[in-house]
Chains A and B, each alone.
Chain A
Amino acid sequence: MPLYNEPHPLEVKILSKRFGLPNSASIGAYLETEGYQAWRKAVGMGPDGIINEVKASNLRGRGGAGFPTGLKWSFVPRNSPKPKYIMVNADESEPGTCKDRLLIEFDPHQLIEGMMIAGLAVGSVAGYIYIRGEYRYLIEIMDRAIDEAYAHGYLGSNIQGTGVTFDVRTHTGAGAYECGEESALMESFEGKRGVPRIRPPFPAVAGVYQCPTVLNNVETFAAVPSIILMGGANWAGLGTPKNGGTRLFCLSGHINKPGVYELPMGFNLMRMINEVGGGMRGGKKLKAVIPGGSSCPVLKADECDVAMDYDSVAAIKSMLGSGGVVVMDEDTCMVKAAQRIMKFYAHESCGWCIPCREGTAWLKKMLDRFHAGGGRREEIKLIGDLSKSILGRTFCPLGDAAAMPTIAFVEKFYDDFAAHLDGKLCPYEAKSRLVTA
């Protein structure tokens, strides 16, 4: 099945505008559709001009944290005598998230151009793309695109006669969610175990090889050429205040038309489910939504009338995260969902920080036992309390990422937990057994 879906009329296709074009990953197709024009324009803008344009766009990091990109770039010390690096985080592993795959598969040159512009902005001549090991076919696509860019004089020295130099290489990961965290990614890139670094210093000052580094998600870099071409203010105007532009939302779970859709920031979540996603599968009722990947606190159905931008989702105590919208219907067991997500974090905890290493393992054991009917009522609160004791006590956000959704599952779906006590079989599984019997 093709990975890009038929465009939905409500989509605003900017980053995804080349998805589905014939040979969209080739440099020929890219050059025919304004490819590398943004870089040419950026050469004339100078570092301050570029950074100001990105600041004006209100582009915020698409990896999950939502940090303003232009501001991040401005932290790179210009007068540092050290080499500076552009690092792309293509370690996409947040459960529910599958957008960077498409950006690389269908438009690798857009990513290269975004990196080149970042290079101009901070005075870097070298960029790396850290791609998760499972995405080997994307490494091959990316390597072909890089070779093409060299062959056409868009990478290397004296690019298009401008005197500018920029080199790009891919780098394979080897299977570790933790390496999507920026400091662990850099450790891994340096050939070590992917354990996080204490911060500060932040990557802008001391990143790869302790050199100033701009580290952003694939989608963040991919947005940059469009921002330069259309102007920061125009990009900002597509979204909501402080949340510029569009983003790729990955719809999955119990909906009729799962897929990756490019929608303006601030798009209403209910419309996303009912109109873009084609509504609930089998006419079932909506029960809950994870709005931005598994680390984001779950929303109850009655909380889903929300604008999908960083600030609006934060206002209801969840996160926009990485754009992974996981939709769950009325037959979904929230204990099971919490258990599966905790199993993931317990597996992926790198073990560096004790609250995360021990906390996720204990929580997984408790949730396993709960789902098997071995829970006790007083322990429902304990699950939340144990999770809270991880919050803020780890080097990197993995501990928080495990704790925050668990707290929300327990607090918002107490009844689901209470239905699993004292040896009772999961009521949802019992129901499905009756249906299939």
Chain B
Amino acid sequence: MTLSPELEARFQKILSSYPKGRERSAVIPMLMYAQDEIGSITQELIDEVAHRTGVKPLQVDEVIGYYSMMHRRPQGKYHVQVCTNISCLLVGGEELYRHACKKLGIGHKQTTKDGVFSLEEVECMGACSWAPAIQVNYDFHHGVTPEKLDKLLDELRKSRGLE
């Protein structure tokens, strides 16, 4: 599998972070960073990570279903994650999530037809004191209202159109 120079350097750094003979520790970080670049976890990537860490492909495969941030199919360019757990719930997290569904015309773990947005109702993301909170990819947005969400999504869609 051909990796970009950035990802190759990242893989080397990850592999060098663990003691000799403990390369299996690199499996999850390698999958996470590769997924960010490739868009999803493919069989080719599983084989590559297995080869580099000296484990069986099955041992890589079996972790994927366990972790909520790993996925085998590409998500939208912007993955919108709305927290509805207790602290967000109390200040409008569920209303915000319903608003996002309506605005994007999709539901939980679905992607818009143009592939720009995907949506997920997520568990606590550690933003409880600044609730309700969402994450778009890795970016946090705090104190989000339906109006702020509209503005953000419109801006993201616009920036996508200009690319």
Q: Which residues of A contact B (CB under 8 A)?
A: 1, 3, 5, 83, 92-98, 100-101, 126, 132-137, 169, 171-177, 188-194, 209, 250-254, 258-260, 290, 294, 324, 326, 328, 332, 336-337, 340-341, 344, 347-348, 350
Contact = CB atoms under 8 A, between A and B. Distances in A.
Nearest to B33: A172
A97 B138 contact: no
A126 B125 CA distance: 28
A434 to B, nearest CB: 17
Interface of B: 17-19, 22, 24-29, 31-33, 53, 55, 59, 62-63, 66-70, 84-87, 89-91, 123-131, 135, 138-140, 142-143
A260 B129 CA distance: 7
Q: Which 7 A-B pairs have the closest CB atoms?
A: A175-B69, A175-B68, A174-B67, A191-B27, A191-B24, A252-B87, A95-B124
A191 B27 CA distance: 5
A93 B127 CA distance: 10
Contacts, number: 148
25 contacts: A5-B129, A93-B123, A95-B85, A95-B86, A95-B124, A95-B128, A96-B86, A96-B124, A97-B128, A101-B127, A137-B139, A171-B17, A175-B67, A189-B25, A190-B25, A191-B55, A209-B22, A252-B90, A258-B131, A294-B85, A326-B86, A332-B90, A337-B89, A340-B85, A344-B123
A83 B20 CA distance: 12
Nearest to B131: A252
Nearest to A251: B129
B119 to A, nearest CB: 16
Residue of A96, A97, A136, A174 with most chain B CB atoms under a 10 A cut-off: A174
B129 A98 contact: yes
A135 B126 contact: yes
Contacts of A134: 69, 125-126, 135, 138
A259 B129 contact: yes
A191 B62 contact: no
B67 A176 contact: yes
